[in-house]
Amino acid sequence: MTLVRNSHSTSQQQGIRVLLVAEGSGGHLIPALEVSRALVRLGASVMLLYAKRRQAASLLDELIQDAHAEGVQVHPVPLSPPPIQAFRWMWRIWQGGSAWRLAQERFRAFRPQTAVGFGGWLSVPVILAARRRRIPVLLHEQNVRLGRANEFLLPWADQMALSFPACPDACPPRAEQGRRGHKAGREQTRTQLNGTPVVITGLPIRHTIGMAHRDDAARRFGLDPHALTVFILGGSQGSRAINQLVCEMLGGLSWPERRAWQFLHLTGPHDHAAVQQAYAALELRCWVAPSLAEVEKVYALADVVVARAGASTIAELACVGKPAILIPYPHARGHQRANAQLVETTGAGFRLEEAAATPQRLLSLLRQCLSDDHLRRMMGSRMQTLAHPDATQQLASAIVDLAQRHV
């Protein structure tokens, strides 16, 4: 798909106004920020509304500032938890009304030609407000399985953009069967969901992913560029379950493994001290931190990754071609389980359910990966079949095309 077709198309893009709305977590907000910046570079005027929550990571603040500096109008929508959990649905309805009124104000002032929803609760009142004004809508789904907000909004969408082709048993029940693709991991692509046109754009990730080199990364972390390296992460907020599992596993390492392996571990904000102490007690080579903006350097040094199965993590792993042991978050309607299933079906990684994740099982999988160079290369190659290197451009192009069709 070509972003700029001719001079007439270019002049049309100059006047395009796009409003995007996203949840405030990294998995929703980072793709929205990346696409916003791409649209600005194409000459569009862009406004981004996002749900501002108290636990937002500092990395997101940096990315928001970068987007703002490039010309994106970024507006947080403050959302707070209900004062009394028993009244959470009443609180949600009240906040929905507030978001609806805010959206109407933004629509009157900005007059967008297209609205783009990236999932999450805030998308619902904003996208419905857009449809009330007959503004064309594109939805983007990060996960293999549609999230609750996108599934609800699907009947009002003019187009649905998917990050991954859906696995047969990970689709919304009403999804229609479509044509077949040709690459591993892309056997089930779809032209429509419930009559809504579908395009597979991939998932926009930070443009720096895949840009680092192993030797430079090793110097950054003070580690050996030739040693077998395990990278552990649990998402932007970390995962206590994974942190505890890894700490318990470390005691089972043999003496040769303690000398041959090294670890990069992003713990999240809560478990940093305890995890660091676990590595120090065994005198293991490691670099441990709550979070890191330069995650591309960690990927460059990693030989195998232990992680949750968030959509952004899968897209980053696909970009750098790293084998993975995925421990999906067991809640949130099983979205991460469907993501991990896609990776496992592709042959790019192992899926380890949290309920069955013992220190012995995790160590066994790590030994299987780290002892076999050929297996790691094969898994990494298959992981790359899930990659969409031009996802940001493809999604930006789909948004532009939708806006131009309704000018």
User: Tokens 């198309």 — which residue?
Assistant: 9
**Local confidence band at 105 (pLDDT 50, 70, 90 cut-offs):** confident
**Local confidence band at 178 (pLDDT 50, 70, 90 cut-offs):** very low
Tell me which residue range forms the domain holding 283.
Answer: 214-384
Least confident of 134-138, 149-153, 178-182, 353-357: 178-182
- 185 and 52 in a single domain? The answer is yes
- 180 and 105 in a single domain? The answer is yes
- 116 and 38 in a single domain? The answer is yes
Q: Looking at the domain assignment, is residue 208 inside a domain?
A: no
What integer is the mean pLDDT of 204-214?
94
**Local confidence band at 405 (pLDDT 50, 70, 90 cut-offs):** confident
**Local confidence band at 284 (pLDDT 50, 70, 90 cut-offs):** very high
* Sheet (strand 304-307) strand order: 285-289, 261-266, 228-233, 304-307, 324-326, 349-351
Nearest to 142 by CA among 160, 125, 129: 160
Q: Looking at the domain assignment, is residue 131 inside a domain?
A: yes
Number of domains, the chain: 2
Q: Give yes or no for a contact between 145 and 166, defined as CB atoms under 8 angstroms apart.
A: yes
What local confidence, expressed as pLDDT, does residue 180 receive?
35
Mean pLDDT of the chain: 86
How far apart, in whole angstroms, are the C-alpha atoms of residue 298 and residue 392?
22
- 327 and 233 in a single domain? The answer is yes
- 238 and 276 in a single domain? The answer is yes
H or E segment and range at residue 132? helix 123-132
- 327 and 393 in a single domain? The answer is no
State the amino acid at position 144 in one-letter form. V
Q: Looking at the domain assignment, is residue 2 inside a domain?
A: no
How far apart, in whole angstroms, are the C-alpha atoms of residue 264 and residue 233?
9
What integer is the mean pLDDT of 79-89?
60
CB atoms within 10 A of CB 274: 13
Q: Looking at the domain assignment, is residue 48 inside a domain?
A: yes
Burial (Cβ within 10 Å: 0-12, 13-18, ≥19) of residue 339: buried
DSSP-derived secondary structure for 31-74: HHHHHHHHHHHTT-EEEEEEEE-TT--HHHHHHHHHHHHTT-EE
Q: Looking at the domain assignment, is residue 105 inside a domain?
A: yes
- 155 and 256 in a single domain? The answer is no
Q: Looking at the domain assignment, is residue 358 inside a domain?
A: yes
**Local confidence band at 1 (pLDDT 50, 70, 90 cut-offs):** very low
- 351 and 281 in a single domain? The answer is yes
How far apart, in whole angstroms, are the C-alpha atoms of residue 93 and residue 342?
35
- 230 and 371 in a single domain? The answer is yes
* Tokens found for residue 122: 């805030």
State the amino acid at position 398 in one-letter form. A
How far apart, in whole angstroms, are the C-alpha atoms of residue 373 and residue 362?
18
Q: Looking at the domain assignment, is residue 1 inside a domain?
A: no
- 380 and 394 in a single domain? The answer is no
CB atoms within 10 A of CB 80: 10
**Local confidence band at 388 (pLDDT 50, 70, 90 cut-offs):** very high
- 335 and 301 in a single domain? The answer is yes
Check which CATH number belongs to the domain holding 117 and give it.
3.40.50.2000
How far apart, in whole angstroms, are the C-alpha atoms of residue 25 and residue 23?
6
How far apart, in whole angstroms, are the C-alpha atoms of residue 157 and residue 123?
12
Q: Looking at the domain assignment, is residue 284 inside a domain?
A: yes
- 121 and 39 in a single domain? The answer is yes
